[in-house]
Amino acid sequence: MINVFLDDVRPCPSGFVVARSAEECLLLLSVSEVNILSLDFELGLGEPNGLAVVQGIIVSGKYPKEVFVHSSSMLGRAQMVQALRGANPPGVKIHDGPMPSHVLEAAAGDSRNA
């Protein structure tokens, strides 16, 4: 099981696999079981955004166990959270905002113990 951090510019936290594009993120989700997914909205000019990832997740039905939407785009973050909550995936925790320090510390610790 992996943790995935989708962002085109921010550094990837310890304990996460980075995806720099929507396509890369959807590929990771399709081939891996994902525990925590942290999503950005804006992924570069003219590139599919984080909402495309959310829509891909909903269509595939392959959800991570927990989703954080860390985007600084207020509108993009709201659209992604609304779409995820609207899909109402059973057992999936959806957070409107970045990962708190205890989540980051636990993920980093898990990667050191793997």
What CATH number is attached to the domain comprising 64?
3.40.50.2300
pLDDT score at 109: 86
Which regions of the chain are under pLDDT 70?
111-114
Residue 10: domain span: 2-113
pTM here is: 0.94
pLDDT score at 112: 58
pLDDT score at 37: 98
**Overall domain count for the chain:** 1
Phi, psi torsion values for 113, nearest 5 degrees: -90, -5
